[in-house]
Structure 1
Amino acid sequence: MHLKAFVKRLLPHLPRWAQQSIRKRAEQQRLAQHAARKQRTQVLLADVIAQLEGFEFGSDVIVHGSISNIGKMDKPVPALVEALLHLVDTRHHTLLVPALPYNTTMKEYLDGLANFDLRSAKNAMGAISNLVMAMPGAMRSLHPTHSVVALGPQALAYTQDHQRDSTPFGPHSPYAKLTARRGKILLVGVGLNSVTCFHVYEDLLGADCPVQVYLPNSYTVPCIDAQGQSLSINTVAHNPQVSAVRDCERARPWLEQAGAIRSVPLGEAELSLIDAWLFTRTLLERLKQGESIYGKVRLKPEQIAAIDRRLRELDPSKA
C-alpha cells in the first residue's frame, strides 16, 4: 500500500489534534508542490481554451477545478471562467460548481457546526467556484454540507429544494438533477477523487447499497436561507472510516470502457469531460458485478434487484 493511502486509512482513527496536524502538514506540502509546479510549467490560456473547444458540451455542466495543479497560467483565473461561460453557453445551458464550505471530513465539520447561513457561508472549493458564486444571477442551493452554485437558465431548478433530502445527493440535489438531465462533469486539473457525483449512485440505492457510506446518526442543523428565513435541515455524515478506503480512480478504466469519460493532457495535469448519466449507469452496472470504488463487494439478491430497478429508472427505454 502506498504511504498516502495508508495515511488516509489511518487518519480517521487518530485523535482530532493529530488529524489536524497531519492535514496542516499535507496542506503545506501541497502549497509547496503547487509553487514548484508554477515555476516548472507555464500554461497558456489559449491552449486551455483550445483543448476545451475539442470537447462537446451542449448541456448543463458542473465544473471541478484546480488551476495550480496544471501549472502557472499566463492569464488570471477570471479569464478562464469567462471562457467557460462562453463554451458552456450559459444563455441556453447552466453552469454549476460545488460550494462545499469545509475541507475536513464531513463528520468533523458537522460536529463543530453551530449553524449554516446561506448568505455568508464560505465556499472552500477554490477560485473557479468562488468566481462563479460571485456572479450576478448565481444561485446557491441550501444544504449545510454539499451546496452547489448554479448560473444559467435552470439555476433555480437546480438549486431549489436541495434541503428536502435527508442525504446530500438525493433526488432533489443538484447532483442527481444533473444526472437526470444528462449533463456533463468537467474536470480542470483534478482527477476522479474530486467528483462529488460519485455519491449519486449510492444515494439512489440507499439502504440497498452494499457499502454503508453514512454514519447511522443524523444531524439537525439550524439554517438561514437566501431570504433570511430560519429553518432546520436534517442530514447525515459520511463515515470517515469508509471514506478512507474510497478510491474513485478505480472507476477510470470502467468509465473509459463505457465511453463515459474523455481526458486530454494539459500542463502537469489533465482536462476531462464526463457524461453524468452514463457515469452513474456505469457505476451501477459495475456494482452489480461486485466492483466498487471501495473495492470488491458481495451482493445479496435484494441488492442486485435494487440495482436493476435503479438501472431501469435511469433508462426507461430498457424497462
Structure 2
Amino acid sequence: MHTKESLIPDLKQLDINVEGTLLVHSSYKSIGAVKGGPDAVLDTLSAYMKAGLLVLPTHTWEYINKENPVFDVRRSPSNVGILTERFRRRPNVFRSEHPTHSVAALGKEAESFTKEEYRHDTPCARQSVWGKLVDRDAKILLIGVDLTRNTFIHGIEEWVDTPGRMTESYEDLYSVLRTGEKVRVPSRRHSGSHASEHYWKVEEILLEEGAMSRGTFGDADVRVVDARKTADLLTELLLKNSDLFSDNEPLADEWRYYFQNKHSKS
C-alpha cells in the first residue's frame, strides 16, 4: 500500500520544480491503494508544492449549459474526478470563477492566479489561467491519464484560432462569485467532433522534442508536460497543419522530419 512517505520520492524523480507551478490531471484509481485515500494523495501533492503553486482543474462543462446555466464557485461540484472535488473544498484553496473551466489553486499567488476568470468568454483564453501556465513555465502532471485529458491543448488550439474548434454562437451562462454576486458570462464552447480524443497522436514528438517526459506515481503511469515547450511546438504544428487533430491517424513522419531538419540547421 502506498503512503505519503512513499509517494513523495515518486514526485522527486519526476523533476518538478517545487517552487514553480504544477497543474495536475488525474485518475485516482490508477495510483493504486493509498493509506489515507484521496486526501493522502492531495496531502502529498500539497506538501511537495508547499513553496510553489498547485493547481487542479475543477471543471463543470459536463452539466453547466444553456439548460442549466448557473455556476456557483462555492457549491458547483467538479466533474473531472474525486481528487479535484476534494481539493476545491480544502482550506486556503482558491477556485476560479469561470462557469465551465474553473481550476482550484493552493499556494504561492493562488488568489491572484484565479482572479476574475469569469471575464473570459471562451474556456481557455490566452489571458486565462490556461495561458498563465505558459507565462509561469508550469508543468502539467498527468497521473494515470494521457494527452486526451490535457485541457491545455484545447487552449493552444484556441490561441491559434484553429478552424472549427469553437462555437460561433454564445450561450448565456452565469457565475455566482465568491462574493455571492451573480454575473452574466456569455460563453463560446469547444466544438470540433471530439478533437481531444486525437491529442494522443503528438505524444511521441513531444517526448522526442523534450516537451514531455514519462514516469510513475504509485502504480500510475504519468506524463510530465512542459507548458511552454508544448505550446511552442504545437503552435508551430497547428499553424502549418490546422487539421492536425481532425482525425485519429498517427502523426505523419513528415512532421518528425521537419523538426529534425530544423534542429540540424540551427
CA RMSD of aligned residues (A): 2.3
1:148 aligns with 2:103: yes
Question: Which has the larger share of helix?
Answer: 1
Which amino acid in the other structure matches residue 164 of structure 1? R
Which amino acid in the other structure matches residue 117 of structure 1? D
**Offset of residue 61 of structure 1:** 0.6
Superposed structure 1 runs of 4+ greater than 4 Å apart: 42-47, 265-268
**Offset of residue 195 of structure 1:** 0.9
Structure 2 length as normaliser, TM-score? Answer: 0.83
- Deviations 1:8-55 (Å, cap 9, x if unpaired)? xxxxxxxxxxxxxxxxxxxxxxxxxxxxxxxxxx65655533221102
Task: Give the 3-state SS of the residue equivalent to 1:226 in structure 2.
Answer: coil
User: 1:191 — aligned with what?
Assistant: 146
Structure 1 counterpart of 2:229, from 246, 254, 278: 278
- Provide the C-alpha distance between the structure 2 equivalents of 1:110 and 1:128, rounded to a whole number of angstroms: 23
- Deviations 1:55-91 (Å, cap 9, x if unpaired)? 22221111111121243334412112111112122xx
Structure 1 counterpart of 2:34, from 44, 48, 73: 73
User: 1:163 — aligned with what?
Assistant: 118
Larger radius of gyration: 1
- Provide the C-alpha distance between the structure 2 equivalents of 1:185 and 1:203, rounded to a whole number of angstroms: 18
Structure 2 counterpart of 1:293, from 235, 245, 248: 245
Which amino acid in the other structure matches residue 86 of structure 1? A
User: 2:189 — aligned with what?
Assistant: 237
> Structure 1: which 5+ runs fail to align?
1-41, 297-319
Task: Give the 3-state SS of the residue equivalent to 2:169 in structure 1.
Answer: strand
Structure 2 counterpart of 1:55, from 3, 9, 14: 14
Q: CA 1:256 to 1:245, structure 2 compared with 1: closer, same or farther past 3 Å?
A: closer
Structure 1 length as normaliser, TM-score? Answer: 0.70
**Offset of residue 267 of structure 1:** 6.3
1:226 aligns with 2:181: no
**Preserved CA contact (<8 Å) 1:140 1:150:** yes
- Provide the C-alpha distance between the structure 2 equivalents of 1:216 and 1:189, rounded to a whole number of angstroms: 34
**Preserved CA contact (<8 Å) 1:213 1:243:** no
Task: Give the 3-state SS of the residue equivalent to 1:274 in structure 2.
Answer: strand
- Deviations 1:177-217 (Å, cap 9, x if unpaired)? 111111110111111111110112122123xx2x3211221
**Preserved CA contact (<8 Å) 2:60 2:77:** yes
- Provide the C-alpha distance between the structure 2 equivalents of 1:245 and 1:276, rounded to a whole number of angstroms: 17
Structure 1 counterpart of 2:59, from 100, 104, 119: 100
1:216 aligns with 2:168: yes
> Structure 2: which 5+ runs fail to align?
249-266
